[in-house]
A and B are shown apart, each in its own frame.
Chain A
Amino acid sequence: MSQTFLLEPDIIAAAENVMPDLNNDLVLAKNFLKQQCAATGDTLYDHLVDVVHKILSQKPPDVVDSFEQYSWEVKQEKFRPNFDLLNDIYLAPPQLAIVHRVDEMFRLVASKNQKLEDMGEEEQELDLEEDNVKPRVADLIDHNYYFREGGYGLPDSECYAVYIALKMLAIKEPVSTVRFFGKIYGTKANYYVAETDLTIEELDRRIREFEMKDMPGEGEGEGEGPIQEAEEQKELMGEGEAREEKSKEPVPPKLPPEPVSTWQPPPPIPVERPGQGVNKKVYWVCNQPGEPWICLPDLTPDQIRVARLTARCMTGDLDAEVLTFPPFEGTERNLLRAQIARVAAGACVSPQGFFTYGSGEEEEDIDLEEGGGDMDFNPNPFYQGHTLKDLLDPNLTYWVHHGKHILKQGRTIWWNPNAGMEEGVEEEEDEGPPPMEPESGPPLFSPLSEDARVEGLPAWTPRCSSMLAPDRALAVLRSNVWPGAVAYATTGKKAECMYVGWGLKYQPPNFSPLQLPRPQDEYPIGPEVMEMADPTFADEEAYRIAHLPPPPPPELPGEGEGFGEEEEEEDE
């Protein structure tokens, strides 16, 4: 075999039959290494060359330890199909899909900016009006800088993309203010959440739509439903009895009437209209910056009630089914909206005085009025900031909530369920339920020191961002109730809060699902349906003895004939 591959010099050497020398041996050894393997057509010589080449070009440390690995890798590379040569397929990098979307977004924002510039040049008088119309986008990049100083926030690359996405939202949708609310993790994809106020026209439109949808029905149909059914059932039963009378077939034992459910659903708690209470802000979500923002629907109080009783991770798909007990009405987009509302109510905090009612002065007068719970608040132009020591005070009296507390009802403004009854049905006033205590939560801007503690843990933990440079330190507050919710405040006029987390509340020791209600009695308890012990033999015997026919009266002497007569009759 080896002879077939002899090269020229070898043949010559063999022919000349000279004395063995080093060169000759070298050539022979090289020849041996160049033997082709029958299966792959590879030679060890080429392989060693490749390995040495790879090692020398890559220069990894401690090659001797992983030499086998290297040899293996070199062999593996040879088997990799080379698409370029065979049929010229280009494999696009995986980033491509996202790049397309982000590119589109950049174009849109850039063209809008260009347009605005042109407008400004042409009509400078209109600039003021233009400013009023232009939606305000909170400066996420600036806020993120401070968050990162405090040890929280988004990575820079993500932050910039989100900021541009917020700009896109402001251009595309009818919104007047845009703020980054946070990020909510899902098992398959994450949500970026933007918090917005709608423009006045859009808000009006939505309120009109809401009233159109809600006014005509308003619970009447639902209320009558069960009663009507009950009546129908009664009628049916009446008919049934009548039929039974007619038929002459053996009559089954008469059963007690089938019970009719007397349960009536509690009156549905009305939904807060758009722009009010829990629906004050409108939230938009997307899975990736660059994707179109999707508006989350308005909340119903029932959704909040159920969301409080359950714990579930988001999946990242807005139309995913939500399987919980008690049943949740809606898909994941409603659940996400409910969780956002709960986080916003519990974890939106700011230093005292950062926000103020209206424009400032009239606050006390208005606060007492009916609408006090739904007051508008704005950044306080006179806010001067607090000292770091105040902000870091563990009692947290210098921090206040600016998210409205959601009542047990699932609304922020208490709704009196008996209001309608008292006015309408005066006869039943005595029988009606006693007037309910209006629920009330802590008012807006109540300090964090009043928050409930979680198992000895205060609801919020303040931390100072820096030990070494106190002059540029800022105060960071993290929530223990909503892990992932943070807020910062500088000694100047900056403050913001953000939420990055799973959208789950911390519930020590752990979440326990709602118990099923006790099964209700199907029949009124009576002797017919009650279980009782079977009589024993002794009982039966006692019963028999007690119910024996009365013993025959003692025989009278004169009555013997009677017997005789009977006997005679029988004989005949």
Chain B
Amino acid sequence: MNVHKLWEYREYVNVNGMMLTSELISMLQNSLTLLQVENHFTHIQYWGQLYAIDNDYHIAVGINDDAIADRKYFYTTDFKFWGLLPKPKKKYKILSLLTTFPFRGDPSLKIKVLDESLDENHPERCRLMKEESRIAATISNICDEAEICARGQLIKQPDGQVVINPNFYGLTGSEAKQLKSYMHIRHPQQRWNTNLLTRQDYNYSMDFLDSVDQDIPSGCWNLSLEKAGSVAYLKSLYWPGMAYFHKVRSSDAGFLYVGNGRKNLDVPFLL
């Protein structure tokens, strides 16, 4: 969610009853603007909050040239120092799904994770994971499955670069009611012609991402229109705490994650 528009968005953002306070917005705008200048980011976004026992983590994303490939994640607990998250490693991505232990609030803490699918004497059965790598892995998992944008919010330029569309005018009312109009922010996993040709009004620059209506099971995204149909909310059941809002026919849109960083594996039972 664009940091510089948080004041306008605060009435729309509501993740499981969580709302942005004035103090949080002020702190974020100040410290993130500084961060943006230091790192020469073209965009900086507030990503969300990870609950921990001692101090909650706040996460921000800096975007430079490419809106998908060139994202850098930062975390902080006190808004004074923003630490760059390491690149998520595949093994930590698996381990962070296994562990049920809560975040502590101390990035240097090491926790032990037991992989029960491996044999008793397997050397990799019990492995150490630093909380910092765990945050990076958790965020990467969430990005892969639950970071979304409206169709047209990101466009691919002829040279292959993906940019945030400066002329995004929002979805229309009827488009906003369809799950097909929302896309995953990730490297597309489907074939490019699948994504393109499932639409009648396909557009090469917009339909290069996977749309969320193909996620399994259908119903794992909860789409609701509120405020008399003027704001669309998309909530993920797999990642409770991930909520996307889009004000119909306007460029106001963004997602926010507020939660404990645990994937909800009960989705098939819930529906």
- Tell me, yes or no, whether A binds B: yes
Binding site for B on A (CB under 8 A): 60-62, 65-66, 69, 94-95, 98-99, 148-158, 182-183, 185, 187-190, 310-313, 455-458, 461, 463, 465-469, 480, 483-484, 486, 498-502, 504, 507-511, 513
Q: Within the complex, which residue of B56, B100, B271 is in contact with A187, where a contact is CB–CB below 8 Å?
A: B271
> Are the CB atoms of B16 and A501 closer together than 8 Å?
yes
Q: Does B189 contact A (CB under 8 A)?
A: no
Of residues 91 to 108 in B, which have CB atoms within 8 Å of A's CB atoms? 100-102
Chain B, residues 214-252, CB within 8 Å of chain A (1/0): the string is: 000001001010111110000101001100000000000
Pairwise interchain contact A511-B266, C-beta atoms closer than 8 A: yes
Contact A155 B19 (CB under 8 A): yes
Cβ of B53 under 8 Å from chain A: yes
Query: Is there an interface contact between A455 and B101, defined as CB atoms closer than 8 Å?
Result: yes
How many contacts A-B (CB < 8 Å)? 115
Known: A62-B166, A458-B53. 8 other contacts (CB 8 A): A150-B21, A151-B20, A182-B17, A457-B102, A463-B56, A484-B17, A504-B240, A504-B270
Q: Is the interface of B mostly helix, strand, loop or mixed?
A: loop
Chain B residues with Cβ below 8 Å from A149 are 21
Chain B residues with CB under 8 A of A156 = 11
B228–A95 touching, CB < 8 Å: yes
Chain A CB count within 10 A is highest, among B166, B241, B259, B269, for: B269
Residues of A near B151 (CB, < 8 A) are none
Residue of B nearest to A152 (CB): B17
Q: Please give the number of chain B residues whose Cβ is less than 8 angstroms from any Cβ of chain A in the complex.
A: 41
Taking a contact as CB atoms under 8 Å apart, the answer to whether B21 and A148 are in contact is: yes
Residues of A with C-beta under 8 A to B259:
483
Within 8 A of A (CB), among B175-232: 219, 222, 224, 226-230
Residue B121 is within 8 A (CB to CB) of chain A in the complex = no
**Closest chain A CB from B219 CB (angstroms):** 6
Given contacts A66-B167, A150-B21, A458-B53, contact A155 B14 (CB under 8 A): yes
Contact for A311 among B18, B101, B262, B269, CB less than 8 A: B269
- How far, in angstroms, from A456 to B111 measured CA to CA in the complex? 12
A456 touches B102 (CB 8 A): yes
Q: B235 — nearest CB in chain A belongs to which residue?
A: A185
Residues of A contacting B21 in the complex (Cβ-Cβ under 8 angstroms):
148-151, 465-466
CA distance A483 to B266 in the complex (A): 15
Contact between chains at A455 and B100 (CB < 8 Å): yes
* Min C-beta distance of B107 to chain A, whole Å: 18
Interface core residue of B11, B19, B101 (most chain A CB under 10 Å): B19
- Residue B173 at the A interface, CB < 8 A? yes
Residues of B close to A507: CB separation below 8 A: 266
Cα-based distance from A40 to B241 in the complex (angstroms): 51
Q: Is the CB of A509 within 8 A of B53?
A: no
* Contact code string B257-271 (vs A, CB < 8 Å = 1, else 0): 001101011100111
